[in-house]
Amino acid sequence: MARKERLALRLIEESKMIEEARHKRQKSAQMARRKKDLETQQMEAARIAAREKGLQEIHQKISTKKREKAEEDARLAQELKEIKL
C-alpha cells in the first residue's frame, strides 16, 4: 500500500508541476501577445502621425501656391489695367 501511495503522490506532484509549467507558458505567451499588440499600436500611431504631418505640409504648400497665384493674378490684372489706360 505504501508503494501505491508513493506512486500516487509522485503522480500528483508531477501533474502539479506540469500544470504550473502550462500556466507559466500561457502567461508568458499572453504577455508576449500584449507586448506585440502594444508595439503594433505604437507603430500604427506613428504611421498615422507621419501621414497627418505629411498631409498638413502638403496642404500648407498648396495654400501657399494658391495665395501666390492669386497675388500674381491680381498683379497681372493691375498691370493689364494700367496698360489699357
**What pLDDT, on the 0 to 100 scale, is given for residue 10?**
94
**Residue range 32-78, pLDDT digits in tens:** 999 999 999 999 999 999 999 999 999 999 999 999 999 999 999 99
**What pLDDT, on the 0 to 100 scale, is given for residue 34?**
97
Give the pLDDT band of residue 83 (cuts 50, 70, 90).
confident
Domain boundaries, the chain: 1-60
pTM strictly above 0.75: no
How far is 14 from 33, CA to CA, in rounded Å? 28
Q: What share of the chain is helix, strand, coil (3-state, %, to 5)?
A: 100, 0, 0
